[in-house]
Amino acid sequence: MKYVFFIFLTIITSSSALSVSLDNFAERYDMHKEYTVWLQNGDILSGKILEIIEDTPKETGIKMQTLVGIVTIYDYEINKIVLTENIPPSNNRVFIMPTANPIGSNHFAGLYEVLFLYAGIGITDWVSITGGHSFIPKTEPHDQLSVLNAKVSSPKIYMKEDKSTHLRFAAGMNFAWLNNNNRLTHIFGIGTYNMESNSHVSFGMFYKSGNQEIPFPVYVLDTSFVVDYSDGAFGISAGADVKFSNRKDLSFIGEIWNSDVTNPTNTAFLLGLRLSGRNFSSDFGLFISTAPYWIPFISFVWTFN
């Protein structure tokens, strides 16, 4: 059980979009870039805009190259047109694992496991600060869980001449309180490779610092257990958010953690799906620990851009 709370207490960090008005779309669209179109019926299409069409003086639309071929979409069918590169995916986090990408202007508030309120803000394009607090029933206020994180991200390192892919690196600190008297402190570094599709993969390292006496008791849901997580432990992690090619709003998310490389049993896995909208995303999946424990996870995140 200690691994479960370690994972959930290191949560670090969804979707917002820059809309394009169809009225003046002909003057500003770029035929070399990809756009995402939300239709009135809820469907989503992505591809390059080949041309603006005007069948009648009162009926305009777009001709779009998609994975299923060239389609014509009329203005009355369109709810929103978005330049795909301006859709902020949930790229400052996987689920628990942070990425090297900053929050920037995509400030957010979320609800994790229905019991943990979490929020994050970006300061310019470099500094990201997140924090949260639990509201677990049958648990005293002084035994609730809290977390505070800060990271600094590097500039983008472009991997291709067209700037379609790039690397970022970040370093930061994480403070997690299992209760008012017991705090876990971590220093972490991470690198993230961002792909043209808005998918991303990350690899990280973290170190448990501080002078916390161990083991120590934790009380949650009328249950007590002992945490034995030594200072000086060195951990590693990897995570990915991979978009489905035919569903830009759906992606696979996966993570693997080891909180102490000297002990392979201190390993946890997380596998799930992320459904993203223009300003809202939700995650569903399963957390599995080698302890062994398994816990379903769910989150809802609102982005304010």
pLDDT digits (tens, 9 = 90+) for 183-224: 888 999 999 999 887 889 999 999 988 766 566 667 666 666
Give the pLDDT confidence of 252-302 residue by residue, as tens digits.
999 999 988 988 888 999 999 998 876 788 999 999 987 677 889 999 999
The pairs formed by 60-67 with CB atoms below 8 angstroms and a separation of 24 or more are: 60/22, 62/22, 62/25, 62/37, 64/35, 64/37, 67/245, 67/246
DSSP conformation class of 197: T
DSSP 119-146: EEEEETTTEEEEEEEE--TTS-GGG--E
**pLDDT tens, 102-152?**
998 889 999 998 889 999 999 988 999 999 999 988 888 888 889 999 999
SS3 32: coil
Q: Please state the rounded mean pLDDT for residues 2-6.
A: 41
Rounded Cα–Cα distance for residues 199 and 178 (Å): 33
Q: Is 230 helix (H, G, I), strand (E, B) or coil?
A: coil
Each residue's pLDDT tens digit, 85-107: 666 557 899 988 999 999 988 89
Integer angstrom CA distances of residue 254 from 48, 96, 208, 236: 29, 10, 23, 14
Quick one: tokens of 110? 């979320």
Judge whether residue 41 has pLDDT over 60. Answer: yes
Is residue 251 within a helix (H) or strand (E), and if so which, with residue range? strand 247-258
Model confidence, pTM = 0.75
Q: What is the pLDDT of residue 24?
A: 66
CA atoms 119, 14, 282, 94: torsion sign: negative
Query: Residue 214: what pLDDT?
Result: 64
pLDDT of residue 253: 95
Q: How many CA atoms lie within 13 A of 256 on its CB side?
A: 8
Segment 227-252 mean pLDDT = 84
- Tokens 């990271």 belong to which residue? 151
pLDDT, residue 244, reads 85
Measured in whole angstroms, how far is the alpha carbon of residue 257 from the centre of its chain? 16
pLDDT given for residue 233 in this prediction: 87
Supply the pLDDT for residue 140: 84
Distance between CA 194 and CA 91 in Å, rounded?
Answer: 9
Tally of residues, the chain: 305
Closest of 254, 246, 253 to residue 274, by C-alpha: 253
Q: Quick one: average pLDDT of 56-72? A: 80
CB atoms within 10 A of CB 225: 13
| Nearest of 93, 85, 118 to residue 13 by alpha carbon | 93
- pLDDT at position 1: 41
- Higher-confidence position of 204 and 7: 204
Q: What is the mean pLDDT of residues 22-26?
A: 64
pLDDT of 4 reads 41
pLDDT at 14: 33
pLDDT at 151: 97
